[in-house]
Chain A
Amino acid sequence: MRTQDSIKIALSSVQHAKTRSFLTMLGIVIGISSVILLMSIGNSAQALIVNQVKGVGSNLIFVIPGGSKSGRFSAPASSQGVIIKTLVKDDISTLERNAAITGVEPEVRGQAKIVYGNNDTTVTFLGVRGNFFNIRSYNVDRGRPFTNSDVESYEHVVVLGSETAKTLFGNYDPVGKSVRLKDISFRVVGILEKKGVGAFGIDQDNLAVVPLTVGQKQLLGIDYYNAITVQASDAYTPEFVKARVTSIVRESHRITDPNKDDFTVRTQEDILSLLGNITSILTLFLTSIAFISLVVGGIGIMNIMLVAVIERTREIGLRKAVGATNSDILQQFLWESVILTFFGGLIGIFFGALFTVVLYFILVYFVQIDWVFALPMSAIWLSVGVSTFTGILFGIYPSREAAKKNPIEALRYE
């Protein structure tokens, strides 16, 4: 039998039972549209994370207090809320002397209530030096950033995040006004550009940036740092500079056994791959759930195909009587099953893409996240392949049952 005849017969059978065919396809439609939607969300989330991590600055290496013993992706103790005081001023001066390093910016951070008039809000405050704005791509939208001389002279100046400025001042211009942070008065000198939610979900717009000296000594009363950002020279690879930074800090801390490091060094690539791993696992997990619905859809197809084989027993008998071989009958029913899942897959791709577009508009225009639109071709090809494969997999049993029928018994079937 010609393939085109098999397809024609299968299409006519599918068309004959329109409602049943549609209901049978529904499982596949739901499964495939979920796969498309979830794979698109996964891709968008990864693109978003890449943008955010890259948006922090370029060629950056982060030194965080506390060691991370097992593997490069385990979290250092400091990120779990333990206070570790190992990063100190000497580390800065030794790092600054190295030729592979073009910038070293220490930071301290804490949380406090910031007040202007009757308005107040809780912010993350950062104590940094003047170059921090440049290295970490914190651009000032209005006013100016503070300088190193402001830092050295303990100036009570503050640069506010866009969201903080909006909360405290509404539509008024905050530059030149005074705000109170931990009961210390600060003059607002600048407002940061809107930056959105950063890597690890840190809100980069609800922020108050103050001179390092003021933050460290007056707001926090400490003599250590919470993190050091190192900018690597373009002439060296980040991995090389990471190794160099590690050995410098280790030497400065007089550590001989690498297992006893009291600090952790990470490049942007490390962070990207860590976050990439997390989103990949999450995407895989969610997509697996979507695949379960595909399996359920496939079983639905198998069930309906079995019913169709019983209903069309006489037709099978007749076709065999006029010369159809077992493989002709197998082919006919298999095509029917594949056509159901293939068209179910196409409809699923359409709805998956539609939901992806709708989600994009909701997130960008209503939730106002810098969501990245992604509809990976791989998801589409995978869906076409998986739906066709589902048709073959779940069609093979009913088709074999059809092919096996004895023509005489089939012709006698009432």
Chain B
Amino acid sequence: MIHLKNLEKKYVDDGETTNALRDVSFEIKKGEFVAIMGPSGSGKSTLLHILSFLDRPTNGEYVFNGKSISELTDKEMAHIRNKEMGFVFQSFNLLSRLSVFENVSMPLMYSLDITIAKRKHLVEKAVASVGLTEKLYAEAGKLSGGQKQRVAIARALVNDPDVIFADEPTGNLDSKSGAQVMEILHDLHEDGHTIILVTHETYTSEFANRLIHIKDGLVESDEPIKKTRKARSEFFK
């Protein structure tokens, strides 16, 4: 599903070149739950941005679902983000003046093939899957942090994407709300969704079944995790 080969990302700032990613190569198969970890400034966010088509690599090859990023226009990338990807951000990124319904339906607004009637059905289904049906028409700004992140997950799910990118999804939450969010992501994975999680919290990363460590723009380690249940039980203590 995801194929990276010799990926590089360089930034030039005031004539000084920073290598944010260096020679990154790996593959992610459909249905995996991958955690990307690394210290601050390691390049994990840059990697997530490239994986989620928000940015382009300087060098190297990135093929997503058979489509190479180097051959896509910005408009085609926007279309793939809309149809095949879902996003969960650390700071929720909800439009607080809008209702839960309006926030969740946002990705569908940019899909012309989904009718308005179908849109309503999909939004209700997504909101129900995160257990917030009773808040469907509540103003997003008035929800608690945990509820906001659940709305953000519903928004990421609503277009039934192939992969969900979660950037520090529990970073702004208390441990109880964080646990709920991780539980939902775990269930989504169980349902067959591919999830790519960027985190710096070890216990969160242990929900994943594969851990990629990044340091100074390089993949330091890439190995499977086989203690998910233990990690989860510890998390909920």
A interface list, Cβ under 8 A from B = 1-2, 5, 9, 12, 16, 314-315, 317-326, 328, 407-408, 411
Contact = CB atoms under 8 A, between A and B. Distances in A.
B55 A322 contact: no
13 contacts: A1-B109, A1-B112, A2-B109, A317-B93, A319-B110, A321-B87, A322-B110, A323-B107, A323-B110, A324-B82, A325-B75, A328-B110, A408-B55
Contacts of B97: 12, 16
Contacts of B110: 1, 319, 322-325, 328
Contacts of B83: 323
A314 B52 CA distance: 17
Contacts of A324: 78, 82, 110
Given A323-B107, A324-B110, A408-B55, 7 more contacts: A2-B109, A2-B112, A16-B97, A318-B93, A318-B95, A322-B82, A325-B78
B78 A323 contact: yes
B54 A5 contact: no
Nearest to A322: B107
Contact of A322 (B75, B106, B112): B106
A314 B55 contact: no
A209 B178 CA distance: 102
A2 B49 CA distance: 27
Contacts of A407: 54
Contacts of A411: 54, 89, 93
A321 B54 contact: yes
Interface of B: 49, 52, 54-55, 74-75, 78-79, 81-83, 87, 89, 93, 95, 97-98, 106-107, 109-112, 155, 159
A408 B54 contact: yes
A319 B82 CA distance: 10
Contacts of B93: 314, 317-318, 321, 411
Contact of A315 (B78, B95, B109, B111): B95
A11 to B, nearest CB: 12
A321 B111 CA distance: 13
Contacts of B95: 315, 318
A1 B112 CA distance: 6
Contact of B79 (A314, A315, A321, A323): A323
A323 B74 contact: no
Contacts of A315: 95
Contacts of A314: 93
B78 A320 contact: yes
A297 B177 CA distance: 48
Nearest to B80: A323
What are the nearest 7 A-B pairs in CB distance? A323-B82, A323-B110, A322-B107, A325-B78, A318-B93, A5-B109, A323-B81
Contacts of A318: 93, 95, 106
A19 to B, nearest CB: 15
A54 to B, nearest CB: 60
B52 to A, nearest CB: 8
B81 A322 contact: yes
Contacts of A9: 109
Nearest to B103: A318
Contacts of A320: 54, 78
Nearest to A5: B109
Contacts of B109: 1-2, 5, 9
A325 B112 CA distance: 13
Nearest to A16: B97
Contact of B81 (A317, A321, A326, A328): A321
A323 B155 contact: no
Contacts of B87: 321-322
A324 B52 CA distance: 14
A322 B155 contact: yes
A126 B89 CA distance: 92
Given A314-B93, A408-B54, A323 B111 contact: yes
A326 B155 CA distance: 21
Nearest to B156: A322
Contacts of A326: 74-75
Nearest to A315: B95
B106 A325 contact: no
A315 B141 CA distance: 14
Contacts of A16: 97
Contacts of B52: 321
A234 B171 CA distance: 95
B144 to A, nearest CB: 20
Nearest to A332: B109
Contacts of B111: 323
A318 B54 CA distance: 11
Contacts of B98: 12
A381 to B, nearest CB: 33
Contacts of A317: 93
B121 to A, nearest CB: 17
Nearest to B94: A318
B120 to A, nearest CB: 13
B112 A408 contact: no
A94 B144 CA distance: 102
Contacts of B107: 322-323
Nearest to B78: A325
B190 to A, nearest CB: 24
Contacts of A408: 49, 54-55
Contacts of A1: 109-110, 112
A318 B155 CA distance: 11
A200 to B, nearest CB: 62
A68 B98 CA distance: 73
Nearest to A15: B97
Contacts of B155: 322
Q: Which of A12, A318, A328, A408 has the most CB of B within 10 A?
A: A318
Contacts of B78: 320, 323-325
A325 B53 CA distance: 13
A318 B106 CA distance: 10
Nearest to B109: A5
